[in-house]
Structure formats: structure tokens, C-alpha cells
Structure 1
Amino acid sequence: MAFTRTERGTLGVIAGAHAVSHIHLLVIPPLFPLLRDLLGVGFLELGFALTVANIISAATQAAVGMMVDRLGPRRVLMAGLLLGGSAFVLLGLAPSYPMLLVASAMYGLANAVYHPADYAILGATMAEERVGRAFSFHTFAGYVGGAVSPALMLGAAYALGVPGALFLAGALGPLAALPLLRGALAERPQPRPARVAGAPRLLNGTVLALTGFFILIALFNSGIQNFAVPAWAMLDGLSLAAGNTALTAWLAMSAAGVLLGGVVADRTRRHGLVAAGGFLAAGLLLLVAGFAALPPVALALVMGASGFLSGMIMPSRDMLVRAAAPPGQAGAVFGVVSTGFNLGGMIGPLGYGWLLDRGQPSMMFAAAAGCVGLAVAMALWQEHRASARRGALVAAE
């Protein structure tokens, strides 16, 4: 069934905000060489600024999720967009390393807003039979934002200078927040979270297991995105051009897989089985890409198939989280489980980098595949629990 006009409007606003959030994620890294000269620092100091943003996001994501449930997701999302935009405008006005750290902290806090607020809004505004597709478009918009950001920032930097590029990135935040000022999101009334019993109900075994699931997904993605290309070069002498072509195939097909995954998520209630099956196949293909000496074209095809399958599970992953949220606590639950992205993003580069430094590129692929195996086991466990709950409800009727 097609989205209603109101649903399309809401989905456009939220998808646009998510695209901006992913653009903001990649404002600083493409400018590293230019910022190094402008600020007079090294890559270590620039990398530390990204670490600051991840630490702040991880530390505040759960609390921000609770704010979403208390204050309303629209208000919190507006605040996040304005805060994220202000961070880059301030850095453009006063480019210095201390200001870069301040801007990173501000954006880290803003980044904690998007997942809990976006998913709370979509869950409250979309009809049940279209939620999966709404989640898929939301995720796809993030992929698009991340894809255009490097070219956008480098082009703006060369045309306007680094401060001008930062002003442009900052202006996207308020622009994305403008439609939210009208308060036009058709949110259905949601139950208020319990003030006393909320915390124990929120931090249950299912939510903690899903947080672990998100950590494993982040570890898997971190290995591919950041270290697959140098690992292939060490293993097979693959050129950087061929390695990056295979990585691009993985990223592009991940985005395509997300769209199909939304249709699948709307047509089944067994989201754990979808996540487990797709992730298992993606992990097996990664092992082939890591251990078989494939020619460049075959490698790109294998990585494209792996990316498609890993993207396809994303809407089902989000539906698992939605199903685990107690009434009135969708924002808080998405806030808690999304800390898994930050934790995996902090742990993964250290572990994979250590393996490559020790001359063990094949172990990088094995470690990423191991994360897949654990994630598959968690998804199957979640499916077993969900089936038991459905069986209990049928028996009670």
C-alpha cells in the first residue's frame, strides 16, 4: 500500500534531516589535509577530534533518547539540527584547534539526537504496514548524505575556502530544521513513559542484547569501510584503485539493499530470521573476498553482493528495536541501542589497525566475519524470544 500524502511529507522531512546528519559526519575527514595546514596540527590531533565526537555521542545517546520521550521528538530533533549546524559555523568563524575540539563535542551531542528522534517520529506517524519501508527510506537517505559529503566539502573548500565550506555545512542544519518549525508532523498520541518503572523496563535483556547486536554491526562495517582496501593490498598486492572500486561496490549496493529490505520488513513479522539470514550470507561472502585471491571484477561483484545483503537487513534490524520498545519509550530504546554504533566505532579501528600492523590482514577479515557469526546468533535468539511471545499471546486469546 502506498504512503499517504501526510506520511510522504513527514518521511521527506525526517529523511532530509537524516541525510544532513550523515553529511555532518563527513564534514571534517575530507578536509583533513587542508585543516592540517590551516590549524598547524597533525593527523593525530585531527583524529582525536573525531574521537571526541564519538565519545560525546556514546555518553549522551541514551539520555537524549529519554529526552525524546519526555519533550517530544520534534523539538529534540530541531535542537540537534541547530546545534550541529552551529558547531561548523563557529569553527568557520574562528578556525583553531581548540575550536575544532569544541565543535566536535557540539556535533557529537547533536549526533546523539538523530536516531532516537527520527525513529520515534516515524514509528508514531507511519501506518503499521508501511513502517518497514519508512525505516528503509530513512536509512537510504543517510547513505546518500554520506556519499555526497566528501565531494561537496572538497568542492566547497576549493571554491569558497575552508571557512566557506564549514559555513555551507553549518547552514544545512537550520535549513533541515525549518520544516519542523511548522509542527506539521502528524504524530499520533503516544503513551507517556512511566516515571518510576521506566528505567527497569527499559534496560531489559532484549534491549541490552540489541545494543550488543548494534556493536557487532558497527565492528563489521568498520572493518570493511576502513581497512579492507589496505588489507587486500597486503594480501594480494591489489591496487588502491581496484580495492576502492570493490569498496564502492559494497557501499552502493548496501544502499540499494536497504530499499528492498524495507519491502521485506513490511511483509514479514520474522525480522530476526531476515536479519540472521542476510547477515550470515553477507559474512560468508566477505570471507570469500578476504581469503580467495579474486581478480578485481570478481572481487567487486562479491563485495557488491555482500553489501546488498548487509543493507537489506537494516530495516528488519530497526523493526526488532521498535518491537522491543515499551509503550512511550521508543526514543529511549533507540537511544540506548544506538550507543552500540559509537562503541563499535571506537573499538573496531583499534583492533583492526593492530592486526594490520602485525601483518595479519587475513585475520582482519576473519575477525569481521566472527562479528557476523555472533550477530547472527543474537538475531536468532531475538527471533526465538519473539516467537515465544507471539505464541503466548495466541494462547491467551
Structure 2
Amino acid sequence: MTKTADFLIIGGGIAGLSAGARLARHGKVVLLEAEDAVGYHSSGRSVTFSHFGIGGGTVRALTAYSRAFFQDPPDGFDTLAAVRPALFIADQAMLSALDELERITRAHAEAVERLDEAGAAHYCPALRWAPDAVVAAFVHREGLKLDPHALLQGFARAIRASGGEVVNGARVVSIGPRWRVRTASGDTYEAPILVNAAGAWADRVAEMAGVRPLGLTPLRRTIIVFDPPAEMDVHEWPFVKTAVDYMYMMPDSGRLLASPVDENPDDPCDAQPDELDMAVAAHRVSEFTTMEVRRITHRWAGLRTFAADRVPVAGYAPDAEGFFWLAGQGGYGLQTAPAMAEIAEALVLGAPWPETITATGVTPEQIRPERLPPFSTM
């Protein structure tokens, strides 16, 4: 028997779940997740710190807008965020980038302060302040450490509370006309609107449905976890990031995690860390701090999938009625999820562009798929 819905969503990461929670207010949502748990891939492997050190102007506006949701979540959600400082550092070559990032952060947030060596050491005493290492820094004292599990499960509960379904272990194997979807277990689902929120697999889902792909690029990101020196209590340390995408580091249950901010093209897969990338992460920690990574206690990798302009995509495919793109959220999916869910809700329903989103300076033209090749060149 074919199960029917008003909105059928493929992908149980943050994009699909957050949009599904909004759409569930307007009709029955069925969300299909290939793995046995939601958020198994990118969403569950994110460092999940909301800050203004990634993305362009559109992403930063969506990040700023989403903060209110995290700090005061609606009923049905557990605590989603803790206020933690974000410390941005630079060597000589990164000084102009640090200045620009400080300007941008001040435009979106308060509690931003330029720091000298002593001020930076107050937040992170292991920084190596030297002519060939850290020479400048600023702090945003109100960064947000997000709880990805609470966020994912809160949206899943919202879908179910409205009569929708979140189906795990539902790997899609075919997509037919009128958006009739069959899974590997032989179940079939049908809906007039199909939301493609499949992350790194989004282009493959489009091809399965006979829809022109967007040329999305999955990029692998590596994380290592290591023990700090025995004399250092790192629990209250900030999120630390270089002004350019070179290294970041933050506390993790008494240990430290770090990344070389790598972006290695990969196929859609269960991403695994590469030995060289782990070694690079360890080396970059030693470049900017007094610490040596003597033993990696844990490691993982995740895929961050981008459109060509690195702005998230939401909108109906120009070449397929009822096929809705919700993809390319890259490394900002969690920190922009509330904003992107409101955008997706409006665009799916054909409702007016939200005035609250207009106030951020973000327009439909920045988000919809028509801006991207191949459609922008048709």
C-alpha cells in the first residue's frame, strides 16, 4: 500500500527536519532518512558553534537572525545553546582578514572587543603570541555553542506532534511521476511536493527523479580530539579560530578538538578522516599554541556540501513541478536552520517572502536555485 502525504522530505539532517517542522503546520509531512538515526552524517558531526567567522554576507545575516531561536526556543525543545566566547586570532599574514572579520562581527553583534596579548591569554592561556604566530586577536563574548542532538530531536518531535512521520532506515531507491518514492525495504510513498534535503546526496536524488542537478560539491572536513597539558583546565576555554580558514579549536568534555579547516572533495559517503589531514590538524595546533598533540584520542570526518556560490539553496526546481530543492547548506546548516526553515516554508507554500527575513537584507534571488548554473545560463 502506498502511503500518502502532503509533503514528502528526503533527508533527516538539520535541513529536512527543520523545514519539516514548519511544513507540518500546514499538512502531513513524511520524512525519509536512509540511516537508522536522524543527523547521522553532516548534522551529527558538526562542531556546532554559531559564529560569524564563516560564510558570506547572506550566511551571516541568516546566522544573526537564527540566534533568537537558539536562545529562546519554542515549546517542545530542550535547551539548545550555551553562551561561550569566540576568540579569533591572526598571524601577520592574516591581519587584514582579522580586521575585516571584526568589522563584520560588530555589524551583527555586541560584546566584541579587540585584545592584546594579556587579554587573549585570559581566554586561552595556551596561545603562542610571537612574531611568527599570534600577533592580534579579538573576542565575541556571546558566541553560541549549539546542542545538535537537542536541535534535531526537537524538530523531529514537532513533526510527529503534528501528525507527521520521521521514518529511519528508509533508503530511497527510485522516484517516479507524481513523486512516488520507493525505499529499499519496498515501502512506497507519494506526495505532490517532494523536498530534496539529502545533503551530499542531493544531486543524486535529483538525477533519480529526472531533475537537472545543481552541481553541488561535497567537501570533507576533519576533526581530531586530544588531551591538553595536565596543568591546564580547558573547560571554560573559548572557541578559537584563525581569521582565515586555517585552524580552529575548542573544548570538548575536558579535552580539546581541533580542525585544519580542510575542504577535500569527496563522493557522498560515510566520510572517514585521512591520516594526513589529522597530522596537519595537529601541526597547526602547535603553530598557534604552546601545546603539542602527542596522542589523538578520537577523530572523525564529515561532508559539508556547497552550491557554487556557497549560499544555501531553497526553491522549486525550474524544470520539475513540485520538486523542491533544500540543499547546499555547507558548514552553516545548524547555525542557520531556523532562518532557512522559515524561508523553505514560505517558498514551498508560495507565501510572501517573510518580512522578518527581508529585514536581514536576504532576498529570494539570493536563495532560489534559478541563480545557479545550469539554470542561470538557460
> Which TM-score band (shorter chain)?
under 0.3
TM-score by length of 1: 0.23
TM-score by length of 2: 0.23
More strand by share: 2
